[in-house]
Structure 1
Amino acid sequence: MALALLFIILFALLIAGAPVAVALGVASLTYTLIEGVPSMVVLHRMVGGIDSFPLIAVPFFIMAGHLMNTSGITTKIFTFSRAAVGWMHGGLGHVNVGASVIFAGMSGAAVADAGGLGNIEIKAMREAGYDTDFSVGITAASSTIGPIIPPSLPLVVYGVIADTSIGRLFAAGLIPGLLMAFSLMIMVAYYSRIRKYPRDDRFRFDVFFRTLWAALLPLLTPVIIVGGILFGIFTPTESAIAAVAYALFLGLFVYRTLDWRRVLRVSMDTVETTASVMMIVATSTIFAWILTANQVAEVFASGLLDLTENKTAILLLMMLIVLVIGCFMETIAAITILTPVLLPVALSVGVDPVHFGIILILNLMIGLLTPPVGMVLYVLSKVSAVPFERCVVATAPFLIPLISVLLLLTFVPELTLWLPSLIYK
């Protein structure tokens, strides 16, 4: 009875529009009151859920993304990408994807990509004669690359909850992220041919090297982060601190586009975002503990295995569940709720936890492009002044390459696991 009430309250609050942390907290606390769980145990579980060294990376990756946007580094990235691939058919569409790949190595968050690069990209594409729908659609789709290519905020949270190496997760995300970019560029090429979108000027080596030189220091950010992890200079958690220090160095002393007032404002924004993430993690810890105590994961796994023991069918069912939930729930909240339930099922059919983490995050990234939640769509609707409903329609065709990559990664695990197995022998 109490367990049923837990889910009824949770979904009722979510449907009513309550914040996810509030919905999880109220539902979980109601259950503990009915079951007579001491309040100190609840508080201990909440504090224990966020008392994790890897979670220190969360505020620093958030701050690094804010600093990159505020200091104007995103403009340099876009200009370099334009010089590198703008000469192709539908050049600015390819630039859009390329800039997202580069920015992914700095921020690790789709919303930061959409908010930072999105305004620059859509404005440039409109001025060059591209359809607004196409501009918004490719900008939304390319922003989902951010949390797959390392560093990645969602992968840090998944690694903590699943007790899986964050370094291996970061390594596993590189090839899938590049596959996403390649698939989106194929889509851009297709649209460019049938709609006859323009190229930029022909490729010029002098422009390429000039913009490369201007963007060289920002381009070193992912090299510093990923290289530092691979060579053992710092841990994935410490790499987030290195990213913030480097972003501050560029903004304050190299480009001089930051001042301490802006740094303070960025810090306040970071505190606000981090607080919401940590509240979700803390309340979801109680929720996950209740599920574990009631063996919900085991019952769910048993139910799926009773339906079929076929690995392919089980993976498809789980991906469908994640896809549906991703349409209604924010990414971090979905990770914290779904991982304790679905990971045991994945392990029972022989799926590596690193592989499962990548396909889970990619699936949830697709959820960022679908209503009713669709955080990326809301951000782009704001920065582009395009109605939300129109953003949904504009993005829909670009779900095809993303879902195709998701299916490919799901059933060809070597694409995900080859690089971590090579690096972490």
Structure 2
Amino acid sequence: MLAAAMPAPAPTGWRAALDPVDRGIGLVVESVAALLVLVEIVLLFCGVVSRYVFHAPLVWSDELASILFLWLSMLGAVVALRRGEHMRMTAFVGKVPPAARAYLEALAMAASFAFLLLILHHAYEYAAEEAVIVTPALEISNAWRASALPTGMALMLLVCTLRMLREGGLAVMLAAAATVGALVLAFWLAQPVFAPLGKLNLVIFFVVVVAACVFAGVPIAFSFALATFGYLALTTRAPMLVLVGRLDEGMSHLMLLAVPLFIFLGALIEMTGMARAMIQFLASLLGHVRGGLSYVLIGAMYLVSGISGSKIADMAAIAPVLFPEMQKRGAKPGDLVALLSATGAQTETIPPSIVLITIGSVTGVSIAALFTGGMLPAVVVGACLCAVVWWRYRREDLSQVQRFGRAQILRFLLTALPAIALPFVIRAAVVEGVATATEVSTIGIAYAVLVGLFIHRQFDWRRLRPMLIETASLTGAIIFIVGCATAMAWGLTQSGFSHDLAQVMKQLPGGAWGFMAVSIIAFVVLGSVLEGIPAIVLFGPLLFPIAKAVGIHEVHYAMVVIFAMGIGLFAPPFGVGYYGACAISKVHPNEGLRHIGGYVMALFVGLVIVAAIPWFSTGFLSK
């Protein structure tokens, strides 16, 4: 969940003097980050054109894109921290009294500050060591890339300092800083106690510390990072350069460059009116049947998910268009937000889902295979949701509903056709080898720009900069989590935990079925606490080889895992995606709680069907 920090009162006195500094940092970092997003789009698109059209590949383009991507990720993380947009769990923080909430908000910022302060020197050392390495294509020092780490961390440290000084009372800030300082000192003094505990330290750091940080509202990335730093520093002899190296490794997968590009593409289809055109066509086709607009919601989420790859963008594009008309027909707001949340879980497997890209990046599973395998399982789960809609709306009064004629439907179809075609263009470009999964988003972006300019004639140039900044912020939040989770996963692997987990999972009763059942339960829980991407980065490299060893196809297992995480993410009371749907719909969460049970049950039924019948996931894969 992209949970913003609690709004603070306007600063006064000496705090107000810090405003120009904060705005200046924000202006510079946001401008550079937005420019990097734009440069990446142009660079990768030129690479596709040069290779596929002129048969003269730019051998240096991927290397330059990788260098710029690390800078984009780190500067994006700075933007996200300044805006309070790092992913965090707010279910507990949001329910405590205002005084305790202010303390927890300050504590979260102090904990982030502590990690950045502890790691900054090691990040600088890491960049200095990388200076002796020369990149193969551009033949420049690798310090140009690695310097993004200490630069980004220094800027985040500065942003943390400014936020702690500007927000909240001085007493609260000092109390939070004292608490974090006392905890760091206590752990350091307890170092001799940790030495004889062996693998029990895994529970202390990767269960207790992570859980305490997450439930206290510390951003998930910093929760992972603090636990990993503590474990390596206090229980092993590993130099902290290793931690920085694993962080760099996790954030440097070129495949993850698809994340910002698809996020920007999602913003483009909303801005150019492509999403609205699709919804209008579906509404004209199904709006006159009982529950028709609910079917439109399910279908629209399916189609839009195939373009944007971002659930927040999907819901924000659809809810404002459909909900007013659905409420006119008597639909209850709680039922609408419940269905919207359920479709968020249903469409997680539709390419180019960011979760699919992340799975391919960290497990080595073919992204083209994941894109192919994700289409039909979402149809199965969508059919289960449609069954609930049919039952709930079987007595809907349609006497006042307008029914469109064939000519009007055809006109809506022609308007929506470019948008409907886009997901198929994206998939075909990957499968046919025109572009990689990373590059194909640039084809989609070029396509959306042309449609907006020359077909829909709806293109607001003034919105481009805010869209680029939002893309950078969300990218930084996501990729920084991936980097921190990669470091944490490395710590777990080096401890022998992965080997022990593999042995336990292989010996589960029921073989493949037992392993699948335990995986479903585990990822529902993980999805509700950690969200999809950090859970996948953390446990994907451990569990996917085990799934393959017990005879489960990797693509089939990926679909089951994604749906399980989706249920955890979008089902209350802990599913943060549910609260995101409520925020977008402007509906109080309590209203949806009375209606969401049937939809969650439908999601489980669909998940069981997909898990029991592998063909839905693998039937269309090339042999």
Q: TM range, normalised to the smaller chain?
A: over 0.9
Residue 55 and residue 379 in structure 1: after superposition, are their counterparts in 2 closer, same or farther (change >3 A)? same
Q: Distance in 1 between matches of 2:536 and 2:611?
A: 17
Confirm whether residue 4 of structure 1 aligns to residue 203 of structure 2. Answer: yes
Residue 276 and residue 160 in structure 1: after superposition, are their counterparts in 2 closer, same or farther (change >3 A)? same
Confirm whether residue 383 of structure 1 aligns to residue 607 of structure 2. Answer: no
SS in 2 for 1:121: helix
1:349 to 544, 550, 568: 550
In the TM superposition, residue 261 of structure 1 has moved relative to its aligned partner by 2.2
1:178 to 365, 379, 396: 379
- The count of residues paired between Structure 1 and Structure 2 equals 422
In the TM superposition, residue 36 of structure 1 has moved relative to its aligned partner by 2.7
Structure 2 match to 1:57? 258
Give 1:150-229 correspondences, 5 Å limit.
150-194=351-395, 200-202=401-403, 204-229=405-430
In the TM superposition, residue 157 of structure 1 has moved relative to its aligned partner by 0.3
1:67 to 268, 286, 310: 268
Structure 2 match to 1:121? 322
Q: Distance in 1 between matches of 2:588 and 2:268?
A: 28
Cα displacement string for residues 345-376 of structure 1 (whole angstroms, at most 9, x for unaligned residues): 32231111111111111111112222344333
Q: Distance in 2 between matches of 1:334 and 1:138?
A: 24
Residue 324 and residue 115 in structure 1: after superposition, are their counterparts in 2 closer, same or farther (change >3 A)? same
Report 1 or 2 for greater relative contact order, CA contacts < 8 Å, sequence distance ≥ 6: 1
Structure 1 match to 2:601? 400
In the TM superposition, residue 172 of structure 1 has moved relative to its aligned partner by 0.3
Q: Distance in 2 between matches of 1:125 and 1:140?
A: 16
Which 4+ stretches in 1 moved above 4 angstroms? 194-200
Q: Distance in 2 between matches of 1:366 and 1:110?
A: 13
Q: Is the 8 A contact 1:133 1:390 kept in 2?
A: yes
Q: Is the 8 A contact 2:528 2:576 kept in 1?
A: no
**Aligned amino acid, residue 101 of structure 1:** Y
In the TM superposition, residue 205 of structure 1 has moved relative to its aligned partner by 1.2
Q: Is the 8 A contact 1:130 1:197 kept in 2?
A: no
Cα displacement string for residues 42-93 of structure 1 (whole angstroms, at most 9, x for unaligned residues): 2121111122121111111111111222333221111011112223221111
Q: Under a length normalisation based on structure 1, what TM-score does the superposition of the two structures give?
A: 0.94
In the TM superposition, residue 414 of structure 1 has moved relative to its aligned partner by 1.4
Cα displacement string for residues 370-393 of structure 1 (whole angstroms, at most 9, x for unaligned residues): 234433322222233221232233
Structure 2 match to 1:315? 516
Confirm whether residue 295 of structure 1 aligns to residue 496 of structure 2. Answer: yes
Q: Distance in 2 between matches of 1:104 and 1:260?
A: 24
Task: After superposing the two structures, state which structure 1 stretch, 370-379 or 154-163, moved more.
Answer: 370-379
Q: Is the 8 A contact 1:119 1:384 kept in 2?
A: yes
Structure 2 match to 1:328? 529
Q: Distance in 2 between matches of 1:199 and 1:344?
A: 56
Indicate the structure (1 or 2) with the bigger Cα radius of gyration.
2
Q: Distance in 1 between matches of 2:598 and 2:381?
A: 14
Structure 1 match to 2:164? none
Q: Is the 8 A contact 1:87 1:199 kept in 2?
A: no
Q: Distance in 1 between matches of 2:510 and 2:380?
A: 30
**Aligned amino acid, residue 271 of structure 1:** A
Structure 2 match to 1:29? 229
Give 1:226-375 correspondences, 5 Å limit.
226-375=427-576
Q: Is the 8 A contact 2:333 2:592 kept in 1?
A: no
Residue 284 and residue 69 in structure 1: after superposition, are their counterparts in 2 closer, same or farther (change >3 A)? same
Structure 1 match to 2:618? 417
Cα displacement string for residues 123-149 of structure 1 (whole angstroms, at most 9, x for unaligned residues): 221122222222222222223333212
In the TM superposition, residue 186 of structure 1 has moved relative to its aligned partner by 1.8
Unaligned runs of 5+ in 2: 1-196
Q: Is the 8 A contact 2:508 2:514 kept in 1?
A: no
1:86 to 274, 277, 287: 287
Structure 2 match to 1:141? 342
In the TM superposition, residue 276 of structure 1 has moved relative to its aligned partner by 0.5
Residue 335 and residue 196 in structure 1: after superposition, are their counterparts in 2 closer, same or farther (change >3 A)? farther
Identical-residue share of aligned pairs (%)? 27
Q: Is the 8 A contact 2:526 2:535 kept in 1?
A: yes
**Aligned amino acid, residue 218 of structure 2:** A
Q: Is the 8 A contact 1:157 1:332 kept in 2?
A: yes
Cα displacement string for residues 137-191 of structure 1 (whole angstroms, at most 9, x for unaligned residues): 2222223333212221100001111111000000000111111222222221111
In the TM superposition, residue 10 of structure 1 has moved relative to its aligned partner by 1.1
**Aligned amino acid, residue 330 of structure 1:** E
In the TM superposition, residue 194 of structure 1 has moved relative to its aligned partner by 4.5
Q: Distance in 2 between matches of 1:325 and 1:358?
A: 15
Task: After superposing the two structures, state which structure 1 stretch, 114-123 or 401-410, moved more.
Answer: 114-123
Q: Distance in 1 between matches of 2:318 and 2:569?
A: 17
Q: Distance in 1 between matches of 2:609 and 2:445?
A: 34
